[in-house]
Structure 1
Amino acid sequence: MRIGIDASPLPLEPVGAGTYIIQLIRALAEINSEHDLFVFLHRTRLLLFDDLPAGRIKFIPISDSTPALRLIWEQFELPALARQYKLDLLHSLHYTSPYKLPCLSVVTFHDMTFFMYPHLHTVSKRLLFPFYIRSSAHRANALIAVSETTRRDAIRILAIPEQKIVTIPNGVSSDFRQITDQRLLQECRRKYQLPDNFILFVGTIEPRKNLPLLLRAFRRLLDEDSGHHLVLAGNQGWMTGEVWESLQDLRLEEYVHLTGYIPLSDLPMLYNLAHVFIYPSLYEGFGLPPIEAMACGTPVIASAIPVNQDHIGDAGILFPPGDERSLFENLSRLINDRQLQAELSAKGRERSKAFTWRSCALGTLGVYQRLETS
């Protein structure tokens, strides 16, 4: 088959769905020997793949644009490219696909937050994405959900047949592992000016990450133990006012460190340096950071939302999403219990092995092949 992959939503600083786009393309390039792959992406993102060996994959550069202009390109120019390259199938990796295509269509859904928590998104996304997502879901020949949680939500919200959407979990790169090279670790500590003892959060600073709750629980921890700092690693997103107000009101400026975006190449060191990883999200479609932390052997505390229950289970500590006291008590217990730390570290490493990008790519190829023969 001649398969097109729409990677145009890939940002320069990838997280979440961006990580999925990069790692799926890399894994497909590694295992595919049967199909011709054509990847459409902004020319400034080509450097993210410049180490891939030549094979049955071709990168088609497109002009950089804003998210709104990207949707226009997707709807009007991408169908013409599908005809130009004589595609048999187009896989859209980020929620939406062209209205009319001359080939089969597969779309990946990462979560349903645009429908379930619209108030947590910017106005432009609230106006555009629900319509395009719903339309894409009903036109596509097959849909991929990155977790069973997202699959269940999509079936319920979009009223699509159960057999149309399959769950193919994200993976964790082999770069995320226990690192014993102290030189590398200390270089990372100096680069980001990290304290000796710290608790870590990784993710975009946005409302659904529930960071004000984390800050309040951390303030309570400081009142009984000032030996740890808190590191928030990630880009500033939107509607962040409550986070900055909490930092000031709780007098945490001295103890909370904001690193900004951390490149994928440095993230494994950051996880390894952390004593505990915390992920207090109100909702996630998959939630890569806690799985990455577990792969590095870092003990995890996370909110007991459905996707964390499915993916983390007893390999971490789960607390009710809005329960500040439970988060504080579990955090206090974990940082003071070395045996529990060692137990969760071992369980987490083992649990993370269930998530590989190779499995993700194999499952994705399986979807392509089923459509080819149906």
Structure 2
Amino acid sequence: MKNYKIFVDAHIFDGEFQGTLTYVKELYLKILFLNPNITLYFGANKIENIKEYFGNHPNVRYIQYSSTRSFCRIFIEIPKIINELGFTHAHFQYVIPFVKNRNCKYIVTIHDILFNDFSNDFSFFYRLQRNILFFLSAKRCDYLLTVSDYSKQKIAKQFNIKTNKIIITPNAVSDDYFHFKTSKNESKIYISDRYAVQNFILYVSRIEPRKNQNLLVTAFVKEKLWKKGFALVLIGDNTLHSGLFDNISSLRKEIKKSIFWFEKVNDLDLKNFLNAAEFFVYPSKAEGFGIPPLEAGALCTPVVCSNTTAMADFDFFNPYFFDPNNYEEFVKIINQMTQNRKSIDLSAIQSTIKGKYSWEESAKIMLEKVISV
């Protein structure tokens, strides 16, 4: 059996936590499990962040980048690394180098191009830069991957690429969510002791306009959920200005004290937040996939989820599935959830998520259609 030597540009581990990091981590943990003839070389500035997940695995090597600027990394340093070490494959997120090594197969995962469909939520320069780089990468790579059929169709149309040239390696839910043994009550005590938060509604993901957190805060205030004993917890990096914190700052003190924002929490605390929440709300207008509501559902936490873009596939969250552009519908569902959430068949939702979204299946697709061909 052929031995494969794969370079993975893992600079995503250097910055804020996001779905792309989960994708790289989980995909390659499963690939290592499935194929012992693969050696992975992860390149990053903060390799200690990658070692947290891959440790001293005998088939994993780490490459410390010397450059911190993205242009120098992708267009100068990485091509040099590939030329010197002779990889069979090199995998990138969104952008590949301009200069390619003819003996190496270049893989790029473009998770979404939402900046085109929802242009009002992104600056002109943001859209221009990514359209150029993503288009060139999609056209010049050897294998083009994405994470959902929604993203596949959008990439094919906007970049004029045949759909049969795009391979879907779906996002999924990590096994440890299904194996999390802490009870709901234990998680509530854990979060109360560490964060002084109780009886809370939860949102998890980056703070930016398309994520639509303002809708949730508006409903929380107008429906006076804080008076009904609920707190609101938001977890995620403040990535793009959305006016969210300006809105929160303008609220009365008695309301603001029921709203909590945590920029980052560790993996254990995140699971406990998801497990302890009264219910989870995901009001996003646009996602290339959308992992957080699945993670909440995997922990048998009730979920209120947007039904647009790639999230349209999450219809197992019905009837708590809503149009994020319809405030009245959203408020109706939120009020129903505050009163009737105990009637939801959470175990059925968990089973559906477990059966439909598997990192091992995504890894098998990667091995069969990309690496082993």
Shared fold per TM-score greater than 0.5: yes
What does residue 95 of structure 1 align with?
Answer: 94
- For 1:227, give the aligned amino acid: G
What is the CA deviation profile of residues 64-112 of structure 1, one whole-angstrom value per residue up to 9, with x for unaligned ones? 62xxx223321122122112111122111x1000112112111101111
| Residue 214 (1) aligns with residue 216 (2) | yes
What does residue 79 of structure 1 align with?
Answer: 79
Distance 2:53 2:371 in 1: 28
What does residue 291 of structure 2 align with?
Answer: 288
What does residue 64 of structure 2 align with?
Answer: 61
Distance 1:134 1:57 in 2: 31
Q: 1:124 to 1:32 in 2, by over 3 A?
A: farther
- For 1:174, give the aligned amino acid: D
Partner of residue 28 from structure 1, selected from 10, 21, 31: 31
- For 1:306, give the aligned amino acid: T
- For 1:88, give the aligned amino acid: T
| Residue 256 (1) aligns with residue 255 (2) | no
What does residue 168 of structure 1 align with?
Answer: 169
Q: Is the 8 A contact 2:290 2:311 kept in 1?
A: yes
SS of equivalent residue, structure 1 residue 14: coil
SS of equivalent residue, structure 1 residue 99: coil
- For 2:112, give the aligned amino acid: D
Q: Once the 2 structures are TM-superposed, how far is the Cα of residue 50 of structure 1 from its aligned partner?
A: 6.1
What is the CA deviation profile of residues 177-217 of structure 1, one whole-angstrom value per residue up to 9, with x for unaligned ones? 4531755542333222212x111100111111111111121
Distance 2:120 2:349 in 1: 33
Q: Once the 2 structures are TM-superposed, how far is the Cα of residue 11 of structure 1 from its aligned partner?
A: 3.1
What does residue 3 of structure 1 align with?
Answer: 6
What does residue 245 of structure 2 align with?
Answer: 244
Distance 2:130 2:91 in 1: 18
Q: Once the 2 structures are TM-superposed, how far is the Cα of residue 127 of structure 1 from its aligned partner?
A: 4.2
**1:1-374 alignment runs, 5 A limit:** 1-46=4-49, 48-49=51-52, 52-63=55-66, 65=68, 69-92=69-92, 94-102=93-101, 103-121=104-122, 125-177=126-178, 179-180=182-183, 182-183=185-186, 185-195=188-198, 197-222=199-224, 226-240=228-242, 242-251=243-252, 252-314=255-317, 317-341=320-344, 343=345, 345-353=346-354, 354-369=356-371, 372=373
Distance 1:258 1:339 in 2: 26
SS of equivalent residue, structure 1 residue 265: helix
Distance 1:224 1:16 in 2: 30
What is the CA deviation profile of residues 258-307 of structure 1, one whole-angstrom value per residue up to 9, with x for unaligned ones? 12212222211101110110000010011110000000101111111031
SS of equivalent residue, structure 2 residue 175: coil
Q: Is the 8 A contact 2:200 2:278 kept in 1?
A: yes
Distance 1:260 1:315 in 2: 30
Distance 2:245 2:33 in 1: 43
Distance 1:7 1:351 in 2: 31
- What is the TM-score with the length of structure 2 in the denominator? 0.90
Q: 1:211 to 1:43 in 2, by over 3 A?
A: closer
Q: Is the 8 A contact 2:278 2:302 kept in 1?
A: yes
Distance 1:52 1:173 in 2: 18
- For 1:59, give the aligned amino acid: Y
For structure 1, which segment, 258-267 or 7-16, has the greater mean C-alpha deviation from structure 2 after superposition? 7-16
Distance 1:187 1:299 in 2: 19
Q: Once the 2 structures are TM-superposed, how far is the Cα of residue 49 of structure 1 from its aligned partner?
A: 3.7
- What is the TM-score with the length of structure 1 in the denominator? 0.89
Q: 1:298 to 1:182 in 2, by over 3 A?
A: closer
- For 1:323, give the aligned amino acid: N
Distance 2:226 2:284 in 1: 25
Gapped regions of structure 1 (runs ≥ 5): none
SS of equivalent residue, structure 2 residue 335: helix
Distance 2:82 2:173 in 1: 31
Q: Is the 8 A contact 1:11 1:18 kept in 2?
A: no
- For 2:165, give the aligned amino acid: K
Gapped regions of structure 2 (runs ≥ 5): none
Distance 1:50 1:295 in 2: 21
- For 1:108, give the aligned amino acid: T
